[in-house]
Structure 1
Amino acid sequence: MKRVDQIAILLSVTLLLTIKLRAQDTTRVNPAITVQVNPQTEQYLLDSLNKSPFYYALKKRYYKDEADTSHKDKIGFAIRPSLNIGVGYRVRRYKNKEPFAYEQSLIAYYGINRNSFAIEYQGLWNQVIGKWNIALTGRLDIPNSVYFFGVGNETQKRDDVRNKYYRLYSTEFYSAVGINRLFNHKHFIEFSPFYQNVKIHPDENQYIHDYMDNLSPKDLEIKHFMGGTVTYAYAKMDNAISPSRGFVFNAAASYVKNVKSTDVNDDGRDFTRYTSSAAVYLPLSRVITLALRAGGATIQGDPEFYQLNRLGGNENLRGFRRQRFYGTHTVYNNNELRFLWPTQNRVFDGKVGFLAFVDDGRVWQPGEKSNTWHAGYGGGPVIQFFNSLLVNGTIGFSKEDLVFHVRMGFLF
């Protein structure tokens, strides 16, 4: 059957709510609800299941280098409440190729409460050089927003300030071109050079102003970086959306060099980042799956403070805020028990259930002595609609926080 080229106008409205609770003993707890999209749930993944359930799940690898600090697959507008509006354009052409010849998208985001703007371009051309694909990306954030609580494994989070005190704002531009290929529907490899510039915006009402004693004013000026990344991934799963049996492995090496700075002493600063993770899915019964993941990262060289490896609630350490810990070396472990029951009636066809998790991890920073491992635990409901869209909401507890996440797709 001949397939029709697709042109789509994309419009999204995301409302993020942050809830504040106060315990009776006057200890301040600041829960937050965030929304994330797992690339496995995107429609083009479903279109390609007959080719490989993992191929398009790796799209985040196309467009998010491990050395990049912008976290392009997540725009954080966690205000009370916060409204994030996105409008974009996507075109897909087939030209008798499977799953398509190329796809391009251009999306603009605006955070109303924070007055933030971002624009992102993504393009993927299938089998351009033999069986090798070409991926292009570009993104501008004005400003980009992450959390910064300081550097090290023992950084403290104050109870007498709001979470926005730890916000770090920057203007960032990132662009990359990659060549990648899938081998035998299981092995993926990519080579991707990139360019990035970053300008930090200090605010006297936020933590970065207090942290200035550890920095030079030159550390906050615009920096230009160039580098490249080599990525390898392996995946074999029985289902891309909710796997009950399988194994996934990821590894990447990135080289980053400061090519131009207002401080001549910065020119030539460089570092190499190595990252790796592995996940295994084990069926304990027809409805129960044990999902385990372990990973880590290390840096050799001289990065900027905002380029250090990170642990946080939205990526690898639930129960804590995003980007909670910064360090040269990181290790984390995620453990989940997933209970999913097939459910079918006149109005619903899919699976319902819940998950329980325990996460732990830590960072290492030269000069710091610490034996602390940070742990979070919790759980929440899971709903899978048909065999395509999976949504789960979790509440994560830790010694310092209580955090809610609403997520499309599992964490891993």
Structure 2
Amino acid sequence: MARIAYQVIFFALFLVFLINPNLAGAASPPVLPDTLPSLGTVKIAPNKHYKSQGLHTFIFGQHWRNVWTTPIEVPILDIRKFAGGLEPERKGGGFQTQSLRLKGKNGIVYKFRSVDKDPLKMMPEALQKSIVADVLQDQISSYHPLSTVLVKPFTRALGVLYSEATLCVLPNDPEILGEFNAQFGGMLGTIEIHPDEAENHSDSFAGADKVLGTHKLYEKLISDNDERVDGEAYLKARLLDLFLGDWDRHYDQWRWAGYKNGKKRIWQPIPRDRDQAFARFDGVFPWVETQVVPQMNNFSESYPGIWFLTWSGRRVDRKCLTAIDKKTWKRVAKEVQAVLTDSLIHEAIQTLPTSLQNEEAAWLEKALKSRRDHLLEAADEMYRIYAAYVDIDGSDKDDYLEIVRLENGSVAVRIYKMDKKEWEKKGKPWYSRVFDPDYTEEIRVYLHGDDDKTVISGDATESIVVRVIGGEGNDQFYDQSYVYCCGFFRSSLTYFYDSDPNTYFKSGANTEINREILSTPPDLVEKYERTPRDYGYELWYSVDNLWATYNSDFGLMLGHGARLERYKFRQSPYAYQMSIKGGYAFGSEKYELSYNADIRSFISGTSLRVEAQTTGLAMLNFYGYGNKSKINEARDEDELYETESQKTTVSTKLIIPASPYTVAFVGCDYKHLNIHFEPTLNPDDHEQTYLNLNRPKGVYENQNISLYAGFSIDTRAKNVLSSSNEEHLSFEWRAPSSPATKTAACSGYFLSLEGRYFPNALKNDIDFSKLKLDLGTYIPLPLKLSRLALRFGGEKIWGPYPFYEAAYLGGQNTLRGFRLQRYAGDAEIHAGCELRLYLSKFKFLVPISFGPLAFSETGRVFLEGERHADAWHTSVGGGLWFSFVDPSYTISISLGRTVSEASGLNTTAAYLTTGFTF
């Protein structure tokens, strides 16, 4: 339940929140006049409603509230004189910023952007009138309202191409602004030249002959090897991002200006939207938020982890920084640091209005100087991140790829234009870099279209893994290299990928060839932004890994865990995932620890699961065998029938997907049950438990191994009524949804069948086997979100078995209301139905749908030799369910009552769970 609450609220809150002067043909950044034609000035606070103190500030953060609530003197823009007169064209489409495009009589397009933000349109409609919306709006105070103005002196000094913004207020002018006057008239914002996308335009931004968005730039770079990004200019811009603490630099935060230089066109970066520069996430709530979404970095005097500070921009970085080696990187970092002088930082602070020249301004100046002093260390960490796994793009022209493995372990990569007649390189390389094994683990080169040739040569004692991925066309691959370190069990260091039947391969001693055919992404966003991660690892251990549950058998249980995922090339969604978690049940005073691994790289297209667990909650009770087992009224039930045991299991399972919703599996388990009982048998001792008095088979034979196989079909995930369910429709097979999400389904079904064999081994002195079935379906009802859930299950055992392997009934998973493991036998069957009705919706922090539920469950066990035991054990109950925002985030509370307890002592049990019981 705790995990669901964190995911709902923090996901919503998360939503809130260079040019090279020596380049021939490059233009200077466009500069607005420092003094705009105005209709006078006005004193206005960016947003006085962000003022707070005391507990609110402690919980939600001080942020930049003092800046937001301090009145500043701002010019009122004379839109009739500026740029010869402005005419509004249309509203912008930003997620939070309100913007208006205006065209001047000089032919230039300008953009007015609001200083304050409106996060409502980023939120689901169900949240827009909730307290979450109020909190989200309040958290806008984490932005510095004048960040775009503060950035201006730094971009000018570094020569970074940037659309400079000037602070102003739009006038109330219905005649000029027309339909936009109601929204924008009197609004505080900034005016800037809009770097619009344009293939060819005489009035293009900064004199560029073309201006493109990021994805169109990628397509342009691939289409022609004469199209290049100025990597050093981009690196300058990114180092400035680190310095400013601007963590939100995704692909749409950039435009690209192209300048012809002979046959080549060089592309300069144009960073946009500096709203997240200097963002502060202090306070309890924002701190927790940054634990869940770690790329939301708090601006301070020191740098946070560079991995997360650069995370939002990682995809653009990995495209545009591949040609820069360590020496060049360090030189550019020193150049940037040298420009960021004390006087420049002071000049930037002085651009703030007089009323803001206070202690916070002094702190900001001090923080910027400290970050400048440590910029080289931050730059070095950034280099290590992007040097580890490098993706290099060829082009759709004929390319000649030359890779040389050097004796010291380094690898030289050069890409030339190719003479198609001779299939040889020509001219100088248009890409060249030497990779150091101290920094680089893998190099991937994508050759794309047309006919290409790859030649890998050189001998070395150790080297870097190289992957070359061919594209359309008749390609040739030659591996003439040799790496001595691999020994007798030689591993591959060169990988060639090409599915074209006309491709020619010549392998070497360390070569592996892959002809797998991959599907083509449907659009540019899928192609460049939603590709599975294929490098590095990720570790989650924050508050998002908390979990909680409750039932009458073991009381409240709280736990925490951590999860590690390792990513590798073409291993989706990961190469392996490992998790460890632990919890403590306060009612039974017992603990549980578990380790789980999901290995996808063992056999392609399968999942190898390795699990280990030790728990005191697996075998809580033993009441004896059969349907007629009685409860002794003279003894305390908890003391008499409780078992003191600790079960330890180690399991391996191979899962083989047959379709998006069907899998087969085979596996092997080891189990050890450590049972605590008195060494002597004394029936008159009232401290003796039922288990100790009867000592069934298994008290001493407490170890076994088992082999099992089965299959399961589960169509529930795709039928959850959730706005974010699209991920379940693709066959990525990533354990597509949690059990809590699946049980919230409104239609669909699940079926699981498993057979298990226990051989005569370890302390199991005779073999036995069992078969287990679980089946359920969901029938939608006419009333919104209402459904009838049905389930049926059973288990059958053949051969003598230890008591802890019996077929049990009772507890949350079979018969609610009955104590856990109330009945035991050679076999069992159980069935249940649960009516889940939608009643209404209300708002408390978030929109909450809720309704009643009612259930009836029945079942019985079978025991060889038991006579006149045809009684069925039935329970009934009801409760409430609550869905937060949508049914994917559901909790249910229920009470179950037995109506046919064999002993006549009917019991009641309570349950609180994420999702539903089934």
1:100-115 alignment, distance < 5 Å: 100-110=574-584
Query: Is 1:6–1:93's contact at 8 Å kept on the other side of the alignment?
Result: yes
Q: Output the TM-score relative to the length of structure 2.
A: 0.35
Unaligned runs of 5+ in 1: 17-32, 35-75
Distance 1:130-1:100 versus aligned 2 partners, 3 A rule: closer
SS of the residue corresponding to residue 864 of structure 2 reads: coil
2:795 matched to 1:297?
A: yes
Out of 181, 191, 208, the position equivalent to 2:656 is: 181
2:489 matched to 1:6?
A: no
Q: Which residue of 1 aligns with 2:609?
A: 135
Q: Distance in 2 between matches of 1:278 and 1:143?
A: 25
Out of 215, 221, 229, the position equivalent to 2:700 is: 221
Q: Which residue of 2 aligns with 1:285?
A: 782
Say which one has the larger Rg: 2
Out of 92, 95, 98, the position equivalent to 2:565 is: 92
SS of the residue corresponding to residue 286 of structure 1 reads: coil
Q: Which residue of 2 aligns with 1:231?
A: 710
Q: Which residue of 2 aligns with 1:206?
A: 689
Task: Please state how far the C-alpha of 1:104 moved relative to its aligned partner.
Answer: 0.4
Q: Distance in 2 between matches of 1:338 and 1:314?
A: 17
Query: Identity rate of aligned residues, in percent?
Result: 23
More strand by share: 1
Q: Which residue of 1 aligns with 2:437?
A: none
Distance 1:341-1:110 versus aligned 2 partners, 3 A rule: closer
Distance 1:380-1:77 versus aligned 2 partners, 3 A rule: closer
Out of 897, 910, 913, the position equivalent to 1:397 is: 897
2:770 matched to 1:273?
A: yes
Quick one: which amino acid aligns to residue 91 of structure 1? Answer: L
Query: Is 2:623–2:631's contact at 8 Å kept on the other side of the alignment?
Result: yes
Q: Distance in 1 between matches of 2:837 and 2:585?
A: 36
Distance 1:92-1:297 versus aligned 2 partners, 3 A rule: same
Task: Please state how far the C-alpha of 1:361 moved relative to its aligned partner.
Answer: 0.3
Quick one: which amino acid aligns to residue 615 of structure 2? Answer: D
SS of the residue corresponding to residue 101 of structure 1 reads: strand
Task: Provide the aligned length of Structure 1 versus Structure 2.
Answer: 342
Quick one: which amino acid aligns to residue 870 of structure 2? Answer: N
SS of the residue corresponding to residue 410 of structure 1 reads: coil
Task: Please state how far the C-alpha of 1:221 moved relative to its aligned partner.
Answer: 2.3
Q: Which has the higher contact order (CA 8 A, sep 6+)?
A: 1
Q: Deviations over 1:301-351 (max 9, x none)?
A: 111122111111211111211111101010111111111357375732353
Q: Deviations over 1:361-385 (max 9, x none)?
A: 0001011121100100011000112
Q: Output the TM-score relative to the length of structure 1.
A: 0.75
Q: Deviations over 1:97-151 (max 9, x none)?
A: 4433321012234456766444311000225312111110111236854111111
Q: Distance in 2 between matches of 1:346 and 1:200?
A: 47
Q: Deviations over 1:57-105 (max 9, x none)?
A: xxxxxxxxxxxxxxxxxxx644xxx6x5534331123446443332101
Distance 1:171-1:404 versus aligned 2 partners, 3 A rule: closer
Q: Distance in 1 between matches of 2:547 and 2:607?
A: 32
Q: Distance in 2 between matches of 1:145 and 1:277?
A: 21
1:11-410 alignment, distance < 5 Å: 12=546, 14=548, 33-34=551-552, 77-78=554-555, 84=557, 86-95=559-568, 97-110=571-584, 116-126=590-600, 128-141=602-615, 145-165=619-639, 166-203=641-678, 204-212=687-695, 215=696, 219-221=698-700, 223-237=702-716, 238-239=719-720, 240-261=742-763, 267=765, 269-287=766-784, 288-340=786-838, 343=841, 345=843, 347-369=845-867, 370-387=869-886, 388-399=888-899, 400-410=906-916
Q: Distance in 2 between matches of 1:140 and 1:344?
A: 42
Q: Distance in 1 between matches of 2:558 and 2:584?
A: 5
Larger CA deviation: 136-145 vs 332-341: 136-145
Query: Is 1:342–1:352's contact at 8 Å kept on the other side of the alignment?
Result: yes
Q: Distance in 1 between matches of 2:871 and 2:617?
A: 33
Distance 1:411-1:143 versus aligned 2 partners, 3 A rule: closer
Unaligned runs of 5+ in 2: 1-528, 679-686, 721-741, 900-905
Q: Distance in 1 between matches of 2:598 and 2:761?
A: 28
Quick one: which amino acid aligns to residue 314 of structure 1? Answer: Q
Aligned Cα RMSD in Å? 2.6
Q: Distance in 2 between matches of 1:315 and 1:258?
A: 30
Distance 1:326-1:180 versus aligned 2 partners, 3 A rule: same
Quick one: which amino acid aligns to residue 690 of structure 2? Answer: Y
SS of the residue corresponding to residue 340 of structure 1 reads: coil
Larger CA deviation: 311-320 vs 3-12: 3-12
More helix by share: 2
Q: Deviations over 1:1-26 (max 9, x none)?
A: 3658431226647585xxxxxxxxxx
Quick one: which amino acid aligns to residue 597 of structure 2? Answer: G
Task: Please state how far the C-alpha of 1:158 moved relative to its aligned partner.
Answer: 3.2
Query: Is 2:747–2:777's contact at 8 Å kept on the other side of the alignment?
Result: yes
Quick one: which amino acid aligns to residue 352 of structure 1? Answer: F
Task: Please state how far the C-alpha of 1:255 moved relative to its aligned partner.
Answer: 0.6
Quick one: which amino acid aligns to residue 178 of structure 1? Answer: K
Distance 1:270-1:279 versus aligned 2 partners, 3 A rule: same
Q: Which residue of 2 aligns with 1:25?
A: none
Q: Distance in 2 between matches of 1:292 and 1:6?
A: 39
Task: Please state how far the C-alpha of 1:202 moved relative to its aligned partner.
Answer: 1.9
Q: Deviations over 1:354-412 (max 9, x none)?
A: 21100000001011121100100011000112333211011111131111111112111
Larger CA deviation: 243-252 vs 101-110: 101-110
Quick one: which amino acid aligns to residue 168 of structure 1? Answer: T
Q: Distance in 1 between matches of 2:575 and 2:840?
A: 36
Larger CA deviation: 121-130 vs 290-299: 121-130
Larger CA deviation: 391-400 vs 154-163: 154-163
Distance 1:13-1:183 versus aligned 2 partners, 3 A rule: closer
Q: Deviations over 1:193-225 (max 9, x none)?
A: 11112232225432212323xx47xx4225321
